[in-house]
Amino acid sequence: MADLADLTIAQAGRGLRDGDFRSTDLLDAASTRATVTEAHLHSYLIMDHDGARAAAVAADEAFAGGEDLGPLQGIPIGLKDNMCTLGVETTAGSKILTGWKPPYDGTAVARLRRGGAVITGKMNLDEFAMGSSTENSAFGETRNPWDTDRVPGGSSGGSSAATAAGSVFGAFGSDTGGSIRQPAAFCGIVGMKPTYGIVSRYGLIAFASSLDQIGPFSRTVEDSVALLESVAGWDRFDATSIDAPVPNFGGSLQAGVAGLKIGIVKELMGDGIDPQIQASTRATADKLADAGAEIVEVSMPSTEYALSAYYLIAPAECSANLARLDGVRYGHRSSIEGTTEEMMGHSRAEGFGPEVTRRILLGTYALSAGYYDAFYGQAQKVRTLVRRDFATAYDQVDVLISPTTPTTAFKVGEKSADPIAMYYSDVCTIPSNLAGDPAISVPVGLDDKGLPIGFQIMAPALGEEVMYRVAAEVERLVGFDERPSLATSEVTPA
C-alpha cells in the first residue's frame, strides 16, 4: 500500500468510509512523516499528540457507530498558531504570548472539532502574521520542503510547508495580504482566501481586522472545497460575518470553462514579475482558451498603488489591535520594576520582535494627529479605487487571473535586511484583500531551479463557486503532480 500520508483528503475520506484503514492509521502516517520532515522544516510550533490521538479514536468510534460528521471526520489537520485553541498554547509566533492557553476555541476551530477533524497541532508563522517568509517567528524560521535553503513563504509558512510535505493532510492559515496564497505558491500546493466574512474571525488573533480572513491549504482543489465548507458560515460572535446560507462552493468543479470570460490583469504581468512566471501564467491562460474560455486583457490601474496603501492600512490596524498586549491581563510581563506605564513599555519591548515593532510604529505614526489625512486617509481612498477597479473588471469578465507571486521561493536570509523587497512578495495578492474578494493559488509548474510556480484566480465577492470551477479546470489541464523530496518516506532524518 502507498504511504497513507500521501493521500488527498478526498481519498482518505473514502478509505475511512470503506473500512480500508482507520483515522488512527492516518494519524500514525502523518506523525511518522513529521518525524522525518520536522528535522528539516520546523513547520510545527506545538504537536498536540494527546489531543490528536483522542480525536482520531473518537472519529473511529463514530465511524463504527455509523455516524458521519462530514468530509473532515478522522482527517489530520493543522492550524496556524494564531487560531485560538482551548487549553492548547497559542502564541501567534510571539514571545509576548508564550505560555498563553486560550480559554476557548475560535469558531473555525470549534466547527472543525464538531466535524470530527483530528487537529494535530499548531503551525509556525511570522510573528502575529506579519511577514512573507516565516522568518519572523520568535521560535525559529520554517524551511521550504522543495529546497530547505529557501523560505516557504509567509506568514502561514508552517501550514503550507506541512501540507506540502505530508505531515498533515490539509491545514488552515490566515490571509491578510497574501499569507495563504503566497506560501501555497512557494510550496506547490493549493491555497485559498475566501470572501471577507465567509469564515468567522472569532478566535483569530487579529492583525488587521478589515483584511484578515481564515482559509485552507490543500493538495487539491477538491480538498480545498471540503476544508472551506467545514468552517464557513455566519457566526453571531463576529459582527463582520455574512449572514447567509453557505453556498455549494464545489457545485461546478466538473463544469469546465467553456463559455467563461477570463481577464488577465495587465498590471500584474509586467516589470518585477519573473519572466518564467509570466511565461507559465500565459501558457496556463492559453490552455484555458483551448478549453473554451475567452481570455482578454484587463487593466486595473489602481493595483499599482495597492501595495503602498496596504502598508499603511494594515500597520494602522495592527497598532490598534496589539495595544491590548500590555503585560497587564495576559501574556508576557516584564520583571523590570517601575510604574505601570514603564512595565507596559518594557513588556512590549521584550515581547515584540523587530518586524512587529516596525509595523506598530508605522501604524501609530500614520494614525497620529496631523498625519491621519495625509497617510491613512489617503490609503483608504486608494482602497476605494481598488474596489472600483475590481467591480469594473467583473462587469466585463467572470474571473481574473495573474501570477500569485513575482518570484518563486527565495533563499533564507535573502530579503531579511530589505523590508521593501520583502513586502513586494505580496504585490499580486494584496489587491484582493483590499477588495475583500476571494482568490486562490493553484500550482502550474516548476521553474528552472525546480521550484513551484503559482497561478492566481480571483473572483467577485461570494464568487467562490466560479473561482473553484476555473481552479479545478486549471488543475486538470496542467496536471501538476510533482511533490517535494521531503514528501517521500525514503528521506532520512537530518
Q: Does residue 398 lie in a domain region? A: no
Q: Does residue 73 lie in a domain region? A: yes
Q: Could you read off the pLDDT of 306-352 as tens digits, one per residue?
A: 999 999 999 999 999 999 999 998 899 999 989 999 999 999 999 99
Q: Could you read off the pLDDT of 54-95 as tens digits, one per residue?
A: 999 999 999 999 999 999 999 999 999 999 999 999 999 999
For residue 486, the model assigns a pLDDT of: 85
Q: Does residue 342 lie in a domain region? A: no
For residue 488, the model assigns a pLDDT of: 67
**pLDDT over 50 at 494, yes or no:** no
CATH number reported for the structural domain that contains residue 62 in this entry? 3.90.1300.10
Q: Does residue 223 lie in a domain region? A: yes
Residue range(s) defining the domain that contains residue 78: 7-257+465-487
Q: Does residue 203 lie in a domain region? A: yes
Amino acid at 324: R
Catalytic residues: 80, 155, 179
The count of domains in the chain is: 1
Q: Could you read off the pLDDT of 408-430 as tens digits, one per residue?
A: 999 999 999 898 999 999 999 99
Q: Does residue 253 lie in a domain region? A: yes
Q: Does residue 15 lie in a domain region? A: yes
Q: Does residue 283 lie in a domain region? A: no
Q: Could you read off the pLDDT of 467-481 as tens digits, one per residue?
A: 999 999 999 999 999
